[in-house]
Structure 1
Amino acid sequence: MAYKDYYETLGVPRSASEGEIKSAYRKLAKQYHPDKNPGDDKSAERFKEIGEAYAVLNDAEKRKLYDTYGHAGEVPPGAYGGPGGVPGGADFGGFDPSQFSDFFQGLFGGRGGGARSGFSGFGGGQVSLEDLLGGSSGGIGGGRRFVQNVEGELQVSLQEAYQGSDETIQVEGRRITVHIPAGTRDGARLRLSGQGPGGGDVLLTVRVLEDARFELDGDDVTVSVDVPVYTAALGGPVRVETLKGPVQLNVPAGTSGGRRLRLKGQGWPRKGGGHGDLYARLTLTLPASLSDQEKELYRQLAELRK
C-alpha cells in the first residue's frame, strides 16, 4: 500500500524533534498559505499535505504508529482513525487541513477590520501568518478538535491604559470584551482562556500608544506647560494637562523657564496602590507678535535691568 512520507513533506529527518517539526510546519504553512497564493491550486494542495503531515508528526501517539507501520507501507486498518488506515484519508482527530483557509478567515473576521480598529492580529486587518503560526499549538489533531493558542496585539491610548478600559475585539466572528486594567504598561500580556480556536487561548500583547504631551518615567509623568513671561514674572495660574484631565497650577512669581513643579499623586498608578507624581516642566513663551506699546514696555524693563 502506498503511503505519504510525512517527514519528506515537511522536509525534516525522521529523528526530528518536536520543535524542529513545528518550526518546519510553520515555515511551510506560511509559504503555501492560500491567502499568499490566491488561485494557485498546487499551493492549496501542498498546504493541505503540510497540514496532514503535521497532524500526524506533531502527535506523539500518531507519530509512533506512523513510524512503526507507515514507513513499511503496511498501515493496519484504522491505525490512524481513518477509513482503511490510509494516512491520506485519515480523520486525524477531527482535523481537516483543507479547512485551514476558512478557519484563518473566520478567525480574523475577514479583511474588513474588526470591532476594535486598534486590534491587530485578529480583527484589525494587520494580521500576518507569522503572527498566527507563532502561537503555541495545543495540538493539531491531538484530540477530537483543533486546539490552537493564537496571539495578537491590542492598541490602547495612554489615557485608556492609565484609567483602564473595556475594549471589544472579534475572534472567529465572536465579539469579545477585553478589560484593560488601570495602570497597564506597554508590553503587558493578557490571556483570554478558552476563547481561541477549539478552546485554545487568545494571548494579547497590549501596545500603549505614545502621547506627545506626556513622558512616562516609572510611576512619574512629566508634561510640558507653556507659561507667559508675565505670569512667570508676577506669578499666577496656568492650565496643566494631566492624565485625569486639565487642572490649574499656581506658578510662583519669579519662575524661570525649565523649572519643574510637582503635582503629587497625579502620576501613573502604582502596583501596590496609589499613584506616582506628575511634574510640570515650565516653558516661557512670548506672544507671536507685540504691539508698539508692549515693545516699549519691554524696552523700559530692559533699561531697568541694566
Structure 2
Amino acid sequence: MNSMKIKLLISNKYYSPSLLCNFQKLNHHIFSSSLSYSTLCNKRLFQHFVKPLNSYSYKSIHTTSYLSNKKDFYNILGVPKNASQKEIKKAYYQLAKKFHPDTNKGDPSASKKFQEVSEAYEVLGDEKKRSTYDTWGSTGNPNHMGGPGGGTGNDNFQNAWSYQSNVDAEELFRKIFNQSGFGQNSSFEEDFADSKFGFGAAEEIVVKISFEQAARGVNKDLNLNVVDICPKCRGSRCEIGYKATTCTHCNGTGMETVSRGPFLMKSTCRQCQGSRVVIKNPCIECHGKGSTVQHKKVTVPVPAGIEDGQTIRILVNRNEVFVTFKVEKSDYFRRDGSDIHTDAKISISQALLGGSIRVRGIYDDHTVQISPGTSSHTKIRLIKQGMKRVNSNLLGDHYVNIKIEVPKHLTKKQEALVKAYAELEESTPGTIKDLHYKKDGPSSDQTQSTQTADDGIFTKIKKALLG
C-alpha cells in the first residue's frame, strides 16, 4: 500500500497535526504488520490510533521542520560511522577537553559545544543507543518524508528519531575520565593520555645521516613524540588544588577479596583498578593518567659503522623506539661491509718513477707510497683504516685503487721527450704515430750505426729541452 492510499483513508474528520505522532504509529503498524486494505478500514483499529475531531482543514504531512533539528552525532565527534568504541572515546576526550568550560571561561559557545559533544558521546558510546540511532537517526533527505511518492514506511520514519540527553555534561565528563582507569582493566591499555601531538609515542622513525656520520658515529638531535610526566599536574593525576584519596573499597591495598562459594579469592580492586587510590577530580590535561604525549627534542646516538637500512632499538623515557638509518651515498667513498674503497690518480711520471700521494681517509689523511712501475688499477691496502664494525672494536681496511691520469694535450717539449723515449722502447706493440723506427735489435756489425742513432736521440732531447 502506498502513501497515496493512506492519504485517502485519512478523512478531515480524523486528522489533525497535533495527532501526527498517532498517525506515525499507524503508518509504522501498517507497514510492519502488512495489514490489508480491509483491515485498515476497520473503524476500531483506525480509532485505536487517531481520535475523531470536529475540525478539519489539513490534508498533508510536513516534517521538514522536525528534521531540521536533527543532529549528526558522528559529525559532531568527527568520526566515521564505522568507528570503533575506542576511536569514539578518543574523539570525545579531545573535544571535551578542548571545549571544557574550565578552559574556556567566558565563552558561551564553548559551553554549548561541550554539551553537544557530551550528548553525542552519550549516544554513540552506548552500543544499544548507537544501534537505535543508526537505524532511525541517520542522516537522510528530508524531502523524502511524507506526501505522495514518499516511499515505504521505514524510509519515511528512519529519520524521525530523536534523543534528549538527561545526563549532565560535567557529570558525564568526570564519569568517563574516572573510567579511564589506572590499571590493566582500564578502557585503554596505555597509562598516558593522548594530546594534540597524537595518540601515542613514536614507535619507529627514519633518520638520514651522511656517509661520514655513519662511519664515525654521531649524536643526532630529533624531534619526536614521547610519553613524559604531565606538565600540568606534575604526575599527581589530579586537578590543581585536589589530591588523591585512599580507596575505601580495598582500604588502599589494591586488592579485594571475592567470595566464590566456599572459596575466597583475591583479585584487583574494581574500584581503584589496583592503584590503591581514587581520584575524584582527575587532571583534565592528562585525563588522570599522570603522563601525556609530548613533542620533545631527543638525542639519538648513532653508532659508528652503521649501515644503510639498519635498525637499532633505543629507550626513550619508558618507550622503545626503533630507529632506521638512511645513509646518504658518498661521492668519494664506496663501502663493502666494513671495508671502504677510494680512487687515487697518479701521473705517468709517478707511475714510471714512483713517488707518494696524499689520500683522504675516514678518520685521517694518509700518505701512500707509489712504487716505480705501478700500473693502472693497482690496489693499495691500508690496514685497519676502514669502517668500524657495529658492536665491535674491529676495523675494516681501506683500499686505494690507483688510476694513471694521461694528459690529453702535450707541449712541444713534452711531445719531443715522449718521442725520444718511444724510440728507445723495445716492447711497443704496433706502431706509434709520426714515429718510424726499426724494432730489430742491433747486431755486432751495426755498432757504429747504433752509436750514431743514440747520438741522434740525445740531440733531439737536447734540442727539445734547450730549444
* TM-score of the two chains, using structure 2 as the length reference: 0.38
Alignment partner, residue 126 of structure 1: none
SS at match of 1:299: helix
Match of 1:248 among 359, 367, 376: 367
1:140-289 superposed matches below 5 A: 142-146=190-194, 147-150=199-202, 151-171=204-224, 174-191=296-313, 193-194=315-316, 203-271=322-390, 272-287=392-407, 289=409
Deviation at 1:267, TM superposition (A): 1.3
Which residue does the alignment assign to 1:297?
Answer: 417
Deviation at residue 91 of structure 1 after TM alignment: 5.8
Equivalent runs, 1:28-67 vs 2, <5 Å: 66-67=126-127
- Report Cα offsets for 1:5-64 as digits up to 9, x if no partner: 59x9436488x9x9xx8xxx9xxxxxxxxxxxxxxxxxxxxxxxxxx9xxx9xxxxx9x9
Maintained 8 Å contact 2:304/2:389: no
Query: Matches of 1:253 and 1:212 in 2, distance apart?
Result: 29
The SS at the match of 2:215 is: helix
Distance verdict in 2 for CA 1:301–1:93, change over 3 Å: farther
Q: Which runs of 5+ in 1 are unaligned?
A: 26-51, 57-61, 95-138
Residue identity matched to 1:67: E
Q: Which residue is 1:116 aligned to? A: none
> Could you tell me how far apart the structure 1 residues matched to 2:400 and 2:417 are?
29
Choose from 80, 86, 89 the match for 1:10: 80
Measured at CA, do residues 187 and 290 of structure 1 come closer, stay the same or move farther in structure 2, by a change above 3 Å? same
Secondary structure of the 1:283 match is: strand
In 2: Cα distance, 1:13 partner to 1:163 partner = 48
Give the C-alpha shift of residue 279 in structure 1: 0.9
Over 3 Å counting, the alpha-carbon distance change for 1:193 and 1:184 in structure 2 is: same
- Cα deviation digits, residues 146-194 of structure 1 (max 9, x gap): 1513344322221111111122233466433222111111223345534
Alignment of 1:19-168 (within 5 A): 66-67=126-127, 70-72=130-132, 83=170, 85=172, 142-146=190-194, 147-150=199-202, 151-168=204-221
Q: Is the 8 A contact 1:166 1:179 kept in 2?
A: yes
Native 8 Å contact 1:82 1:92 kept in 2: no
Which structure has the larger Rg over C-alpha atoms? 2
Does the 8 Å contact 1:192/1:203 carry over to 2? Answer: yes
User: Structure 1: how far apart are the matches of 2:164 and 2:355?
Assistant: 88
CA distance in 2, matches of 1:182, 1:252: 33
Output the CA distance in 2 between the equivalents of 1:187 and 1:93: 43
Consecutive unaligned residues of structure 2, counting only runs of 5 or more, are 1-69, 91-116, 134-162, 181-186, 225-293, 429-467
Please name the residue that 1:117 is paired with. none
CA RMSD of aligned residues (A): 4.3
Q: C-alpha displacement at 1:141, in angstroms? A: 9.2
Closer, same or farther in 2 for the Cα pair 1:83/1:144, shift >3 Å?
farther
Shift of 1:207: 1.6
Alignment coverage as a number of residue pairs: 213
